[in-house]
Amino acid sequence: MVGNGMAGCRTLEELLKLAPDLYEITVFGAEPHPNYNRIMLSPVLAGETKFDDIVLNDLAWYRDNGIALHAGKQVTKIDRKARKVIAVDGTEAAYDRLLLATGSSPFILPVPGKDLPGVIAYRDIADTEAMIEAAKHHEHAVVIGAGLLGLEAANGLKLRGMDVTVVHLADWIMERQLDKTAADLLQKSLENKGLKFLLGKQTSELVAGESGRVAAIRFKDGTGIPADLVVMAVGIRPNTALAESAGIHCERGIVVDDTLQTYDPKVYAVGECVAHRGVAYGLVAPLFEQAKVCANHLAQMGIGRYVGSVTSTKLKVTGIDVFSAGDFMGGEGTEDIVLADPSAGIYKRLVIQGDRLAGAVLYGDTGDGAWYFQLLKDKQNIADIRDHLMFGSHHVGDVGHAGQNKAAALPDEAEVCGCNGVCKGTIVKAIKEHGLFTIDAVRKHTKASSSCGSCTGLVEQILASTVGGAYQPADTNEKPVCGCTDHSHGVVRAAIRDRKLLSIPAVMQALDWKTPNGCASCRPALNYYLISSWPHEAQDDPQSRFINERAHANIQKDGTFSVVPRMWGGLTTPTELRTIADVAEKYQVPTVKMTGGARIDLLGIKKGDLPKVWEDLGRAGLVSGHAYGKSIRTVKTCVGAEHCRFGTQLSMSMGVKLEKMLFGMWAPHKVKLAVSGCPRNCAEAGIKDIGVIGVDSGYELYIAGNGGIKTEVAMFMCKVKSDAEVLEYSGSFLQLYREEAWYLERTCHYVARVGLDYVKKIVVEDAARRKELYERLLYSLQGYEDPWATAVKQPKEYVALEVA
């Protein structure tokens, strides 16, 4: 590999994961350092971090992976005929495959004086050190170019005590990333930090002083200012000279196809040096996407194409929040939604094309940047949420982090992840020290956002503000199921359905799973997809179910289990209650309580006692309440017209009918229903997956509510007249959800993804499809037996072995 930077090393990392022994790897790097995190140079300059902290792959990494590293040796020649590269000192290395990752160079303005001492670019750690050194001895700094890099350099130099002027050719700063309004706001706040700006100025000459060092800068209009240090930050040029000299086709960069292959099939290229579909990227995130695809092809797996990237920008200047992504300037066929609050220093502009978000510029409050970027990347239909799109993704209902929704405003010691007790400072430190770029990596290293997930948005914000434009959220719709495969949930599901795969080994074989038995993430998902796609045919594999579903009870922190008998519609009888009381005494159940779903929970039962408990309960007709499953949980009811003076419908009887119909229904996630007999809604139907509300003329059906991590109010789907229709419409919606939602997606997430209109078109407007769905649901539930009764017959799995 030629080039020892971030894109190249990431490719090697991906390659080593896929095929650790396929190649003997040799790396040449022009800089005398191992691979470091170039995007963290600004914090180094600003004095917020040190070089040692931004090294991504230390020398031990090269050694441990058997990589021969030639640091500080620039490659000067590629001999494609002999298939070898030659470095400046004569070192040679032969190749079967060559990876070019030569990066880019700063563009130096061709003006007189450009070679004077004190005139530098801003590209690597040497430049950074030169700036730090200059700041110690000199006063006047001029940064040419007010792009991302230029502003970060200017900010750093200012913090190092220099008097800094930013010179820019265009009429506003960061004109490639910001519109004028946002740019003006940014300029103002940078001016408040002490930076000076000269806009619309073209540099004509750099003038030397008596010492021979640069002393002043002159402009085309004849004016000039003193300058002891000039930093050129006017853009980058892909480094193509080496490739060109070897006769490899180059345009703006080294031309590559969607597999990152150059015109020489033995030569691949990634990173800032390439031109892919005419675009050369200068941000880290696209390079990582390229690295993944390139590594896959180098590993001879041949899967995956790189089709270009949507990029986002975030300025890493402490205390200033600016974000942009996509087509933020807009134009013909686009509309703007703009929010401007000048005195609060907030400006937000969303560019919308049709039903999609096309671009976003945020200033002052970038908390929702990651969310907008995700909407952009996923090309999600925003018609349903257009009216509140501007106000971000946050709901009053988010719990677990003291109501905080703005990561930037949080102090380091603020607890971000309430499940695992992870503070913001810990997350930031892990991101910097381990060079993390994805939410998954942050989860792995810190555990933040790895349990209930309610803080995911916050952690994404922290990630985005720490790594800036390098942050790249995965395409939700195309995200692989887990590390065991490159296929998304949608692809896996379709394969199971279309190719009639009936067992987990069959799926893994058909879809080239990378691990022999999958993992704790993919196996439960596959098992669900199998049994929901092919009821009565596919093999249900207990070993691929989470312990709760395997044992038909909920595991507790001390390893005991809890047992929740089903009470249809929440109704019970004295006999049932007596039986439950007897069981609680007989097995010395330490805690008896009501569940959130209004059922009785017996907590603290030893696993070995479970079959005996179920046998006793079963004698009174009590069956599994499935309080442990990704399945139908409960149908909550109010008293309804049976007793209540306000009741308009028989809500208890309706609830019982629904719960009996859905008994044994496995689903992508848990499913809860409620039936209220009148709009007073005592059964709290507004936060259920399906909420049924009785009115005088029939029932209103609400769907996709949620009372959990994210309080989500159910949305009105339709109104129906009869009990039979309630069953048919509810069943049909649930079957649609069962067939289309990704595993672990609640109805609220599923409907947010596909849109309420989509659901209505099928379930409400298309009678034929509604009936088909309903029939498929009933078919898959046919003949379902109480799992407790089954376990009572075969108690062996519950009993421990003994050894003396």
Partner 1 sequence: MNDWKKLCALDEIPRLGSRVVKSPKGNIAVFRTAEDEIFALHDRCPHKGGPLSQGLVAGKVVTCPMHSWKIQLESGAAVAPDIGCAKSFAVKLEAGTVWIAL
Q: Which residues bind partner 1 (CB under 8 A)?
A: 420, 444-445, 447, 450-451, 515-520, 523-524, 542-544, 546-547, 551, 555, 557, 559, 607, 796-797, 800-804
Shortest spacing between CB 7 and partner 1, in angstroms: 24
Long-range contacts of the stretch 774-780 (C-beta < 8 A, 24+)? 774/727, 774/728, 774/731, 774/732, 774/735, 776/735, 776/739, 777/665, 777/731, 777/732, 777/734, 777/735, 777/738, 778/661, 778/731, 779/535, 779/536, 780/532, 780/535, 780/536, 780/665
Shortest spacing between CB 797 and partner 1, in angstroms: 7
Shortest spacing between CB 507 and partner 1, in angstroms: 14
Shortest spacing between CB 513 and partner 1, in angstroms: 11
CB closer to partner 1, 388 vs 557: 557
Shortest spacing between CB 560 and partner 1, in angstroms: 10
- Lookup: tokens for 357: 């978000």
What is the C-alpha to C-alpha distance for residues 472 and 284, in angstroms, rounded to an integer?
9
Shortest spacing between CB 801 and partner 1, in angstroms: 5
CB closer to partner 1, 218 vs 523: 523
Shortest spacing between CB 802 and partner 1, in angstroms: 5
CB closer to partner 1, 394 vs 447: 447
Q: What is the DSSP letter of 247?
A: T
CB closer to partner 1, 520 vs 768: 520
- To the nearest 10°, report the CA torsion of 82, 87, 90, 94: -30
- Lookup: tokens for 598: 């209004």
Shortest spacing between CB 434 and partner 1, in angstroms: 8
Shortest spacing between CB 614 and partner 1, in angstroms: 18
Helix (H, G, I), strand (E, B) or coil at 209: coil
CB closer to partner 1, 396 vs 803: 803
593 CB neighbour count, 10 Å cutoff: 10
What is the C-alpha to C-alpha distance for residues 282 and 276, in angstroms, rounded to an integer?
12
The C-alpha angle 513, 98, 284, rounded to 5 degrees, equals 70
Annotate 491-524 with three-state secondary structure: HHHHHHHHCCCCCHHHHHHHCCCCCCCCCCCHHH
CB closer to partner 1, 435 vs 518: 518
Helix (H, G, I), strand (E, B) or coil at 157: helix
Shortest spacing between CB 547 and partner 1, in angstroms: 4
Q: Are 57 and 35 a contacting pair, CB within 8 Å? A: yes
What is the C-alpha to C-alpha distance for residues 486 and 91, in angstroms, rounded to an integer?
38
Q: Are 181 and 362 a contacting pair, CB within 8 Å? A: no
Query: Helix axis angle, 125-137 relative to 148-159, nearest 10°?
Result: 40
- Lookup: tokens for 116: 């004077």
- Which candidate, 201, 135, 136, 119, places its Cα nearest to that of 166? 201
If you write DSSP's letter for every residue of 442-469 in order, what string do you get? HHHHH-TTSSS-TTHHHHHHHHHHHHGG
CB closer to partner 1, 445 vs 479: 445
Q: N- to C-terminal Cα distance for the chain? A: 59
Shortest spacing between CB 524 and partner 1, in angstroms: 8
The CA R_g of the chain, rounded to the nearest whole Å, is 31
Helix (H, G, I), strand (E, B) or coil at 120: strand
Shortest spacing between CB 782 and partner 1, in angstroms: 27
Query: What's the longest Cα–Cα distance across the chain?
Result: 103
What is the C-alpha to C-alpha distance for residues 422 and 402, in angstroms, rounded to an integer?
13
Distances (CA, A) of 758 to 751, 754, 761: 8, 6, 5
CB closer to partner 1, 344 vs 804: 804
CB closer to partner 1, 343 vs 543: 543
CB closer to partner 1, 123 vs 523: 523
CB closer to partner 1, 396 vs 520: 520
CB closer to partner 1, 385 vs 519: 519
CB closer to partner 1, 504 vs 622: 504
Instruction: Give all strands of the β-sheet with 203-208 in edge-to-edge order.
Output: 203-208, 214-219, 224-226
Shortest spacing between CB 545 and partner 1, in angstroms: 8
Query: Helix axis angle, 284-298 relative to 6-18, nearest 10°?
Result: 40
